[in-house]
Amino acid sequence: MLRFASAIGLVTFAIAAYASSARPRGTALPAGSCSMDCDRKASDCIDGCEAKFQDPKARVECKLACVTSREKCESNCR
């Protein structure tokens, strides 16, 4: 149970960090921006986790995978 609580805390932190660095919806970036593409994919992934999983643990694991995928995508932009 403690591990699950830690995972939830980690996901909450990762999502908060992602949200604070992301631009508000409707804010345009230059067309073709790699970072914008990574942000959009991560947002779609997180939204998909919400819709796909009812179990909180499965949702958390899915969101962690989204955050990890976004970090990899962003590192490929440079």
Structure pTM? 0.59
- Per the prediction, the chain carries an average pLDDT of 77
The encoded tokens of residue 76 equal 């490929």
- Tell me: pLDDT of 22 over 60: no
Per cent of the chain over pLDDT 90 is 51
Cβ atoms of residues 33 and 50 within 8 Å: no
In the chain, where the domains are located: 2-19+31-77
Q: Which of 74, 48, 43, 59 is nearest to 11 (CA)?
A: 59
What tens digit of pLDDT does each residue of 23-43 get?
A: 454 554 454 589 899 999 999
pLDDT at residue number 14: 59
The encoded tokens of residue 60 equal 């958390």
